[in-house]
Structure 1
Amino acid sequence: MNGLLGMKLGEGGCAEIYEWEDKSKVIKLAKSHTAMEALANEFGNTQAVWEKGLTVPRPYELTEVDGYPGMVTERIYGESLMERFMQLFMQSSADRAWTDSDDENIRITARSLSSIHSHVIPSMPPQREALRWHLHSARYLTLDEKKRVVERLDRLPVKHQLCHGDPNPGNILMRDSEPVVIDWMDASTGNPEADLAEYIIMIRYSVLPPGLPVDVPGFFDSVREHIISVFSEEYERLTGLAYREVEQWLVPLAARKLNVGSIGEEEKQRLLEFIRAEL
């Protein structure tokens, strides 16, 4: 193994994260099913937003380690918003309570997205094209259902703003009090409503990972709509874009998630039930 490769720091569906060279850099090392092209696209996206002045990890280079493609970036020291939520969930039921600081974590996500959406980078891939591809490829839906979802998408207005594509709490790291947004693989130019719908769908329909205390799913169910409300209100305060304008994007984005391999069968069945009720 390459001598520059250090301690493993994390892992996702497509790659593993390791220290690189020294403790100021990391390498995102692709798994066997992830091509260099995918990392090259992510590197280009990250470079574009970094050059635009967004608070993101500085990209350094593309390389290979034992035949596996890798992307070297600045290392960000700080916990993710996802880690903050998990700390809350792991507390005993007697101590666990949703507080103003938890609301603030939600507002941080809304503020980060509003900042991203205030930029335009025409070189980014077109959002609408990728969405159509996912909808046509989505499992579980019939051909007629796919056609009706695509027709819904085609009726929506077209915008040309920078979008992240995967605004989950694990992709926002807190460096001191500054949010740093990572993982730009799905970045595009398009409608901010798609990012907002992606976040709302995740909060409303996600299934928590195993290993949590048995009462946590019930607790999370009790705060799901509160999280969405705080998030939507903060984003509207900053941009004027209201929840009702995002609502019409929920079906296309839920259908897109049916084509994602990183979520489980139970969550996909929840999404499918929602889509069919709306259609």
Structure 2
Amino acid sequence: MQPSLGAKIGEGATAEVYAWAPGRVLKLFRAGTPHHISLHEARMTRAVFAAGGLAPEVFEEVMVEGRAGLVMARLEGPTLMQVTKSKAVSYAQAGVLLAEGLHAVHQAPPPPDVPVLRDYMAGSLRRARGTLSTPVAAGVLALIDRLSPRDGLCHGDPNPGNMILTTEGPRLIDWIAAMRAPAALDLASAHVMLTELAPHMADDPERPRAVNAALQAAYAGLSGTSPAALAASVEPYLPVVRALVLLGGAVPAQDARLRQRLAADFPA
């Protein structure tokens, strides 16, 4: 017999998380969410977990009241965003924790089931046909082709809300945007989310900016790269990330800002 929903633990743009069986949670996708999204997230999370990554274990896929759900291991602990907002950790410490987590992800071999950046972008453009203008869509793909990105594992959405501080160490959730790309893509994702989008939604606009500054500086140290060289490697991927965020539809309140940025990135 299928367990019943327990207390709600959290929620995001596409899903809610509930207590399920002992030691497990149910990530229940919102009504109307295309089923391919839950299937893709299950596949990506399983692939990263099997490769020894920082992802939680996925046990099964279920349907609850017509909604798709993923039963996963329960990760006990606060999110990095929660402890940063409460000032239990400083902004600098939060940036270092996120940098260390991302560096660990980037050191892991990418599972073969995870799509490469070019294919991920092309698929996103097909599913969200018409979201980007033709010049911008063509410009993004041409930019990726010029960059010829290396093949490494990226989380795809590395923000403080997606890191849980467990007693065994930090873990990352929401692997739906996982892809094979250089570390610069994840660092660009963090930059866009924390400096271009989050300040317009946060109670303290300086918090996400400070976390990003600490993250980029700490990652430069971990990777043995100068801050200037790291910033130069991240810069070309910023337009790619802006396009991915807009195609994903996760922050509709920021659509106009993203479109303005992309129009400047890829002038007609």
- What band does the TM-score fall into relative to the shorter chain? 0.7 to 0.9
8 Å contact 2:61–2:70 — kept in the other structure?
yes
8 Å contact 1:127–1:191 — kept in the other structure?
no
Q: Where does residue 201 of structure 1 map in the other structure?
A: 192
Greater Cα radius of gyration, structure 1 or 2: 1
Q: Where does residue 108 of structure 2 map in the other structure?
A: 119
Paired residues for 1:258-273 under 5 Å: 258-265=246-253, 267-273=254-260
Paired residues for 1:1-279 under 5 Å: 3-22=3-22, 24-88=23-87, 101-120=90-109, 121-134=111-124, 137=128, 141-176=132-167, 178-207=169-198, 212=203, 216-217=204-205, 219-220=206-207, 224=209, 226-240=210-224, 242-265=230-253, 267-279=254-266
Q: Which secondary structure state, in structure 2, belongs to the residue aligned with residue 249 of structure 1?
A: helix
If the length of structure 1 is used for normalisation, what is the TM-score? 0.82
Q: Which secondary structure state, in structure 2, belongs to the residue aligned with residue 122 of structure 1?
A: coil
CA distance in 1, matches of 2:187, 2:202: 29
Q: In structure 2, do the counterparts of structure 1 residues 62 and 177 end up closer, same or farther at CA, with 3 Å as the change threshold?
A: closer
Question: Identity of counterpart residues, as a percentage?
Answer: 29
Deviations 1:102-155 (A, max 9, x none): 201111111111111112212212222122344574767532233233322220
Deviations 1:17-49 (A, max 9, x none): 111123x11011122222443222222222222
After superposition, the CA RMSD in angstroms is 2.6
Q: In structure 2, do the counterparts of structure 1 residues 46 and 133 end up closer, same or farther at CA, with 3 Å as the change threshold?
A: closer
Q: In structure 2, do the counterparts of structure 1 residues 238 and 71 end up closer, same or farther at CA, with 3 Å as the change threshold?
A: same
CA distance in 1, matches of 2:89, 2:62: 43
Q: Which secondary structure state, in structure 2, belongs to the residue aligned with residue 34 of structure 1?
A: coil
CA distance in 1, matches of 2:261, 2:134: 17
Structure 1: which 5+ residue stretches go unaligned? 89-98
Structure 2: which 5+ residue stretches go unaligned? none
8 Å contact 1:140–1:272 — kept in the other structure?
no
If the length of structure 2 is used for normalisation, what is the TM-score? 0.85
Deviation at 1:209, TM superposition (A): 7.4
Q: Which secondary structure state, in structure 2, belongs to the residue aligned with residue 259 of structure 1?
A: helix
CA distance in 2, matches of 1:52, 1:146: 33
Q: Which secondary structure state, in structure 1, belongs to the residue aligned with residue 6 of structure 2?
A: strand
Aligned positions, number: 260
